[in-house]
Structure 1
Amino acid sequence: MTGIFIDERLDADDYFDNEYEERVFTSGFGFKSEQINFLANGYLGDLFNLGFLNAFTTWVGQYFNRDIRFVRIDPVVGETRIKQKADSCQISNSHLFLKLPRANELPQKHKPFSWLLKRMFDWLAALIILIVLSPLMILLAVTIAVTSRGPVLFSQWRVGERGKLFRIIKFRSMVTNADQLHAQVMSGQTGLHKCKDDPRITAVGRWMRKYSLDELPQLFNVLRGEMSLVGPRPWALYDALRISGNAKRRLNSLPGVTGAWQVSARSTMLDIDAVTECDLRYLRSWSLWLDLKILLMTLPKVLSGFGAC
């Protein structure tokens, strides 16, 4: 397995005048890297016009005669560029990771056996819950299809374990052009991009969000190993990229369907630094008992509509 690290700190206009650096690595049990410099010169012009990630990964892949499976990118390139590269990686069956500070709080490092039990429980519990709630999920899907135009499911790039981007799955609770209206609705929002009176939310969507029913399809993310039942909030890119400095290490953690933030504050706490610290406290004190406690707290919080937004 091979991959490339993309370190883009240059503006688009600067690509033609500067050396562009990549590091090609071989993955074993972890990432091991060997630094290699490429002087692309005029070649970069063609790469940029052809669709940078697809063309560049193809070029590097042919150069080393290997398939590229992992790509790591510096968050400084911005949300739009990261989304473009994530889409390209999805098409080419490779995985995109954000370049993040090292995280020492990850529980899988300190309690590997307990973590293994947690992941086994995640898979089994998610499967059982999906089977039990499948009639409700079918009813919700039909209701969404009948009451609003557009797809039943909604997917969005989120930051997962060790900065790996994955597509979170939810029932669609907003209008179909919600992404295009995002900047307009959230302008001036300094905290998490959540708004109680968000005009993009449909009538059925508002009811689903009150009881977190829109999040039920995330159980498929759990089965795919992209999420846990309990864990830190799965950050959207527009929120994750605003985490400051070394606090970005929190993005290395495996996100959860529910978690400490959801049961203690949810949408009543939108300050990014406060939410990040809440997640880090959970990681530092993680145990199987803590996860069980959060799971037991989740149901009454959901049924009461606590902190819905």
Structure 2
Amino acid sequence: MTRWARGGPGDGAATAAAPTELFGRREETAVLDGLLAQARGGSGGALVVWGEPGIGKSALLRHVHGQAADFVRLSHSATRPESDLAFAGLHGLLRPPADRVELLATAQAAAVRTALGLSGEPTDRLVVGAAVLSLLCGLAERQPVLLVVDDRQWLDEATALCLGFVARRVGAHPVVVVLADHSDPAARPWEGVADVRVDALSDESARQLVAAVAPLTDKATTRNMVRDAGKASDTRAMNRLTAQEQRVAQLAAEQLTDREIGVQLRISHRTVGHHLGNVFAKLGINTRTELSHLHAGCEPP
């Protein structure tokens, strides 16, 4: 689903009702609002918002879209059925301003027409990336541009590479690119693009959210909802570990030393340290005590 707006009412689902405050997301919204302020000042930027499914990434995209009423807004939600279609995502994003394609240089215009399925001419992905960058910068000469992509994990490779190319080059122009993804964006095509990891809400923020969307919920039900959501989130986090990392995490949570873990698993203590480093990174923790608490939260009552 794609939306095109120059601000104001009638924007459709992109500005659909959402809580005035995103509970527990002050840091994330501050980063997004900062990008918009930066663009209003004449310089752009890009950000990948990432985290497990259902963690609240789409709500953050709705927030930044809603705060950008004075921007040209282009948005697209990638879908699994189109993930193997080259430039399907670009087709969704650029159909609204397609009339501006003819303002590009001849080679770039031809490349974009091919990417949008308007021509059968052969094209080069580098030329497409440069053309999309030129198109966005051209739009930004009149007012800042916000480009938002949700469910990046389903974005076709050709579009992903194109947007990665664009995202690393918008700094000198009032263009903001924000993408939501399930996994760590450190690798291609987002290498070099700033990112924000979205973690589960704290218990207090979760209680505030329940009170806001379901104010008649009694305290006992709210407490159970928050507890169950926390356990589900912890379990999903543990499931991201490899089998060996899970074994190392289990023993480390029991406060065994690296050498003791190594003896039990018949691996060196250095290998244990390597696995434990991966565990901490994947779970977003720093100590064995945190690991013990997290592991306890995943166990059935």
Normalised TM-score (structure 2): 0.29
The structure that has the greater radius of gyration is 2
Normalised TM-score (structure 1): 0.29
Higher RCO (CA < 8 A, seq sep 6+): 2
Larger strand share, 1 or 2: 1
